[in-house]
Structure 1
Amino acid sequence: MSSATIAGISAKADWEDQFCKVMAWAVLTLLLVVSAGTLVDILLRAFTPYTVRGLFELNGLFMAIIVAGLSGLVFVRHLNIRMDVMKAVAGSNQHAVRLVCEVAEVLVFGWLATALLFRALDAQEYGEKTMVVGWHTAGWWAAAGLLMSLAVLTVLIQTLKHWYALFKDRGYAEPGFWRGALVTLGTIAVCVALTALFINDDNSPGMQAGMAFLVLYLLIAAQIPIGVSLLIVGVASLALTMGGEQALVVSQNEVGRALTSMDMAAIPLFLLMGNFATWAGLSGDIFNSGTALLGSRRGGLAMASVLGCGGFGAICGSSIATTATFGKVAFVEMERRNYAHSLAAGCIAAGGTLGALIPPSVVLIVYCVVVEESIQIAFQAALIPGVLALTMYVLAIFVSVRLKPSLAPDVEEFNWPVARAALVKAWRPVLLFALVLGGLYGGMFTTQEAASVGALLAFVFAVSTKGFTLEKFKASLIDTAINAGAIYVIFIGANIFASFMSFTDIAQLVLSIIDLETMPKWLILFGLVVFYLLLGTVFDTLAAVLVTTPLVVPLIIGMDYDLIWWGVVTLSLVEIGMITPPLGMNVFVMRSVVGDRLPLSTIFRGVTPFLVADLIRVILLTSFPIITMWLPSVLSGN
């Protein structure tokens, strides 16, 4: 299909995208209202003996409607997280691959909506009510199911139009179309055959679990979105081994649990906080204050960039967004001051990885929900490793410019009045950090409450910033909807897949393969470290954590290690993978920011000192778990 035809289809499909955008705007505006209610409850608790009765459970029902309403946008724009492992095999013409993926997305999205509607029917049949205020929940579930069903219908219409255009414009006759179709459909056919032959009652649980993982990885390699692949394999496996009714019951339970989880509710709120903070210019405030303090030192601007990436990454929670933002802000400034391109690009690409580790971390929230550990304790545990990562990156720059002075310009004279003014101007990110992290560590807020306070405060900063418009407000909502929707799809898919894994008793299977009595723990940990480093080079951070958790957690528990410690180590490992050759995702993001001015080899050369620092840090974290667990033990009084 020609580019003109594709553009024509996009123009005709504008109404589908617009419909899902309006729905996302509406529900995320509702999320801000819900956050305001949470803030009122916090103030009442702090200054009066009163509280908002039943707010927690009502917020959960509101979240079901909010997530159902925002989920359509990620499907209508086909932005679910995927890997392009087999893209080279499928060829440059990806039209057939996209059409097959659209069908898979429609089927999965329709299944989610069906599960929601059946959840509403069950609530009606059993007269389900909220525990505190006694409200019937069936209407809430029905509203969420209706919103998602409308979005499904919209995405279905869009997909049918794309398939109609394929035949109308003879897109199947274009060079390379059938190559992509054969690779994708052939892989799916192999997956169907493996599923039918090996995932049934005639085979052992170990065989079923092994085949389910193989089929999952094949689908992901074929560019089917990761969350969609998890859902397809999980539901199909449950249906074949336990029956279609049980698969639906598990699905509606997992969908309902995910949509009403107040721990998961923190994710769209933190994403909103990050988007509003970006428009409010907080990244510039952080970078300018760091530059004023350190810019006069040799390599000081690179150090300020790393510190700025860490600070802003903690606010926005996205490694890619941090890299892209500071790539625009800091690289030009370092280039203007004659920093070597390798150091300038490398420090930003590496600094961007800090966002997933330094609290509040979106990926760490999801991990804790999956393994049922305290998010608050995990945030406490991640703080010192995050500070350690920042410190070691700064040391890496210090050593690099000492060994090779040509990487950075000569030392400039320190200007205290300029530094003081920049520090004063950075009061907004300081206040945001103090309220969100201070409230969390001090036990004043739950994770969702901290996220609500952060989102509202960042919104106030954005609104009070010159140039902030309604369009920028809408853009913040859209970006939040897309990222949150993709996270929820992977989370729900991973939970349904994990439900099947639990029926196969995967924990005992893993422990029977790896004998903890005879195999040294250090060897097992070394194998896991290498595995996650390799996985991080090709997998999205969240996907890498969720897809592997059912296999790895039994080992960690069997070796009597703390799951929170392991979560911090895992995040460190997969984030290192984002700057590891040859497929470091952050390096490619940095390359897209700077354009053709820098070859990839220059950026990879620039991240080398930071990779050395990362490997040293991983050795420290794995050898001395006390680095991770000391702060939670102090704060808990143990």
Structure 2
Amino acid sequence: MQADLHAYRERISLVLNGTGRWIDQLSKFSAILSLVALILLSLATLLDILLRSFSSHGVRGLFELNGLFMAIIISGFLSLVFIQRRNIRVDIMSSVAGTNQLGVALISTLSEALMMVGLTTVLGFRAWDAYQYKETTIVVGVSTTGFWVCAFSIMLFSTFLIVGRSAAQWARLLLTKAYTQQGFWRGLGVMLIAFIISACLVFEFLSGDYSVGLQASIVFLSLYILIAAQVPIGISLALLGILSLSLLLGSESAFVIAQNETARALTSIDMAAIPLFLLMGNFATWAGLSGDIFNAGTSLVGSRRGGLAMASVMGCGGFGAICGSSIATTATFGKVAFAEMEKRNYAHSLAAGCIAAGGTLGALLPPSVVLIVYCVVVEVSIRDAFQAALLPGLFAMIMYIIAIMITVRIKPELTPTIEKFDWIIARKAMLQAWRPIILFILVLGGLYGGVFTTQEAASVGAVLALAFALMTKGFGWEKFKLSLVDTAINSGAIYIIFIGANIFAGFMSFSDVASLILGFVNIDTTPHWIILLCLVIFYLLLGTVFDTLAAVLVTTPLVVPLILGMDYDLIWWGVVTLSLVEIGMITPPLGMNVFVMRSVVGERLQLSSIFKGVTPFLLADLIRIGLLVSFPIISLWLPKILNS
């Protein structure tokens, strides 16, 4: 039986990977070159900041050139997401497709190849437009044609790799007869049926004389069918967006919209902060900043009952403010803190629960990657949103610490006896934490103080974290490459969803979904607290099954008209939304952070024990959400003070 299972896995691996190692290496090489270029661009930004600080001039024209350079850089690392099959997807219907997911993977790679062909095509026409209209930058008058041609050429090469690999996978499927494996046709059938149903619904209702409301509802239904069937979320958004726009406005107009939205996403300076902050997080991890933060927290509160659990939450908050990712924070502190608490005889459920819950602070405390994307989509200030998220993030941390204090008071057997506080050890640990302290002061202080833009703060953080990593013993070329590759994969997955969401938003704009929603939910007669309560419940449920970024991007265009119609602040709602979907990451039965924690601790702990451990934190979260929704001033007070 074991031999048959091994042969089965080997055959699937052969079909999906086969002799594609050279394709992997080329994609990684392209991604590494792109991220090295991003670091050099960060150094140029740092030079610009220094020149502005000590003279009246900076690097002339750098700001407008940054966007064009970013288009080239993103084109260089985008292919790695497709080659590694790391596009964000939801596996709601994985059980329906069966245990043999080969057919699902093959259809997914076909859809990804189709999107890459589309992206390359629109970039080619964007380069042609730049040449035809002799586009130049405003400040220095540099022709933009060369930049777009370079981005197009890189994307074209990547498309050849991805399309070639997809063709090779289908060829190996036939040669190895892997289609004879049990369950293959079931998985393939589920994917094909999802595509057929979605296409038939869209063609039928958008080609006919139906109301705008019904047409929009059908498109959203088709979107959720594809997402549920495990088609990558960004691909689903882009394909349905293009198809719907073509049926509404014609193929030429749909193509122009796709071209404009793709170019806007690739050249967005605000979005450029995302790969930079992710780079900062990766370098900070290798530099051991998570250990510095945890040791400092332990030295301060470790002598209290439950002190290590409190230190873990504080450490998760501090490290989350560096890396901006819930999953990365949970995985990092799962390794750093769990073993330490286990050594001190902490109950496994409390140890794992506090880390899984503390990891959610990673996406809430600035700089938050998801909050950046939200701000770009709804067109509000990223700096104001970061300011608004700071107090709620600190509030969440305090609520978690209070939850630990109450839990260990009720059940003292969960923690060991209290140790004596040692001020000498505490002072030494605080001094050793000078690196994360400097990083916080420069990045967040400069951002909140108005010294840096978001992209400049991210550049400073990435360069400084790299400097710390280079000073760390054991950090060499291999770890540097791993940092770049990980950043490329995560950044590329975000950009794919963002581009797809922008194209899909074009359809929603032309179909006037905002008026439809406001007509469906009468905000003049329905009490606002009922609408907000329904939204809170909706996001709590959505967060259990959707990736945080996907949940925000897919639902924001639907919810924002309601928030504006009720005359609420979009920045406040962004903080509330982020808080809600992050709570979903520790909510049974599918809390993502709980599964990450389970993978870190291995067989030592069951999922049920971790869910039991996060229960006090979920109760604290519900109280916190109630206060955030009831009193928007918690979020809006700091931006108001700083901006005045």
Deviation string for 1:271-302 (max 9, x for gaps)? 00000000000001101111111111100000
Q: Which of these residues, 515, 523, 528, is aligned with residue 516 of structure 1? A: 523
How is 1:18-29 mapped onto 2 (pairs within 5 angstroms)?
18-29=25-36
Matched-pair contact (CA < 8 Å) for 1:578–1:586: yes
C-alpha distance in 1 between matches for 2:288 and 2:243: 47
Give the residue type in structure 2 aligned to 1:234: G
Deviation string for 1:192-233 (max 9, x for gaps)? 110111123522221221111101100000000000110011
The match for 1:3 is 9
Deviation string for 1:170-201 (max 9, x for gaps)? 11110111111111111211111101111235
C-alpha distance in 1 between matches for 2:612 and 2:296: 28
The match for 2:4 is none
C-alpha distance in 2 between matches for 1:473 and 1:70: 16
TM-aligned CA deviation for residue 12 of structure 1: 0.8
Instruction: Tell me the TM-score normalized by structure 1.
Output: 0.99
Q: Which of these residues, 471, 483, 493, is aligned with residue 476 of structure 1? A: 483
Please state if 1:430 is matched with 2:437. Answer: yes
Give the residue type in structure 2 aligned to 1:573: L
Give the residue type in structure 1 aligned to 2:290: S
Matched-pair contact (CA < 8 Å) for 1:345–1:603: yes
Give the residue type in structure 2 aligned to 1:519: T
C-alpha distance in 2 between matches for 1:563 and 1:461: 37
Deviation string for 1:219-269 (max 9, x for gaps)? 000000000110011011011111111111111101111111100000000
Matched-pair contact (CA < 8 Å) for 1:200–1:208: no
Matched-pair contact (CA < 8 Å) for 1:116–1:145: yes
Give the residue type in structure 2 aligned to 1:518: T
RMSD between aligned residues: 0.9
C-alpha distance in 1 between matches for 2:11 and 2:19: 11
Please state if 1:221 is matched with 2:228. Answer: yes
C-alpha distance in 2 between matches for 1:622 and 1:336: 40
C-alpha distance in 1 between matches for 2:487 and 2:247: 36
C-alpha distance in 1 between matches for 2:438 and 2:589: 39
How is 1:342-353 mapped onto 2 (pairs within 5 angstroms)?
342-353=349-360
TM-aligned CA deviation for residue 594 of structure 1: 0.8
C-alpha distance in 2 between matches for 1:497 and 1:426: 45
Q: Which of these residues, 608, 617, 626, is aligned with residue 601 of structure 1? A: 608
The match for 1:495 is 502
C-alpha distance in 2 between matches for 1:605 and 1:367: 32
C-alpha distance in 1 between matches for 2:194 and 2:268: 35
User: How many residues were matched structurally?
Assistant: 637
How is 1:448-597 mapped onto 2 (pairs within 5 angstroms)?
448-597=455-604
The match for 1:405 is 412
Please state if 1:445 is matched with 2:459. Answer: no
TM-aligned CA deviation for residue 439 of structure 1: 0.2
TM-aligned CA deviation for residue 5 of structure 1: 3.0
Please state if 1:195 is matched with 2:227. Answer: no
Please state if 1:43 is matched with 2:43. Answer: no
C-alpha distance in 2 between matches for 1:156 and 1:5: 21
Matched-pair contact (CA < 8 Å) for 1:201–1:241: no
C-alpha distance in 1 between matches for 2:546 and 2:318: 24
TM-aligned CA deviation for residue 63 of structure 1: 0.3
Please state if 1:381 is matched with 2:392. Answer: no
Please state if 1:395 is matched with 2:402. Answer: yes
C-alpha distance in 2 between matches for 1:542 and 1:320: 12
Q: SS at 2:337's partner residue?
A: helix
Deviation string for 1:394-452 (max 9, x for gaps)? 00000000011011111001111111111100000000000000000110000000000
The match for 1:162 is 169
Deviation string for 1:314-370 (max 9, x for gaps)? 111111111111111111110110101110000000000011110010000000000
How is 1:610-621 mapped onto 2 (pairs within 5 angstroms)?
610-621=617-628
Matched-pair contact (CA < 8 Å) for 2:356–2:614: yes
Q: SS at 2:207's partner residue?
A: coil
Give the residue type in structure 2 aligned to 1:244: S
Matched-pair contact (CA < 8 Å) for 2:14–2:172: no
Q: Which of these residues, 599, 603, 626, is aligned with residue 633 of structure 2? A: 626
Matched-pair contact (CA < 8 Å) for 1:90–1:180: yes
TM-aligned CA deviation for residue 7 of structure 1: 4.1
C-alpha distance in 2 between matches for 1:257 and 1:186: 34
Q: Which of these residues, 316, 341, 353, is aligned with residue 348 of structure 2? A: 341
The match for 2:98 is 91
C-alpha distance in 1 between matches for 2:173 and 2:561: 47
Give the residue type in structure 2 aligned to 1:373: V
Give the residue type in structure 2 aligned to 1:171: A
Matched-pair contact (CA < 8 Å) for 1:557–1:563: yes
Give the residue type in structure 2 aligned to 1:453: V
Q: Which runs of 5+ in 1 are unaligned?
A: none
Matched-pair contact (CA < 8 Å) for 1:20–1:72: yes
Matched-pair contact (CA < 8 Å) for 2:12–2:102: no
Q: SS at 1:12's partner residue?
A: coil
Q: % of aligned pairs identical?
A: 65
Matched-pair contact (CA < 8 Å) for 2:12–2:178: no
C-alpha distance in 2 between matches for 1:55 and 1:63: 12
Give the residue type in structure 1 aligned to 2:9: S
Q: SS at 1:467's partner residue?
A: coil
TM-aligned CA deviation for residue 2 of structure 1: 2.9
Q: SS at 1:393's partner residue?
A: helix
Please state if 1:149 is matched with 2:156. Answer: yes
Deviation string for 1:2-49 (max 9, x for gaps)? 322344453510011111101011111000101000001100111111
Q: Which of these residues, 190, 204, 215, is aligned with residue 208 of structure 1? A: 215
C-alpha distance in 2 between matches for 1:528 and 1:45: 45
Matched-pair contact (CA < 8 Å) for 1:319–1:353: yes
Please state if 1:276 is matched with 2:283. Answer: yes
The match for 2:72 is 65
Please state if 1:329 is matched with 2:321. Answer: no
Q: Which of these residues, 355, 365, 368, is aligned with residue 372 of structure 2? A: 365
C-alpha distance in 2 between matches for 1:210 and 1:584: 28
Give the residue type in structure 2 aligned to 1:78: R
Instruction: Go from structure 1 to structure 2 and tell me whether the alpha carbon gap of 1:7 and 1:214 turns closer, same or farther (over 3 Å shift).
Output: closer
Q: SS at 1:360's partner residue?
A: coil
The match for 1:230 is 237
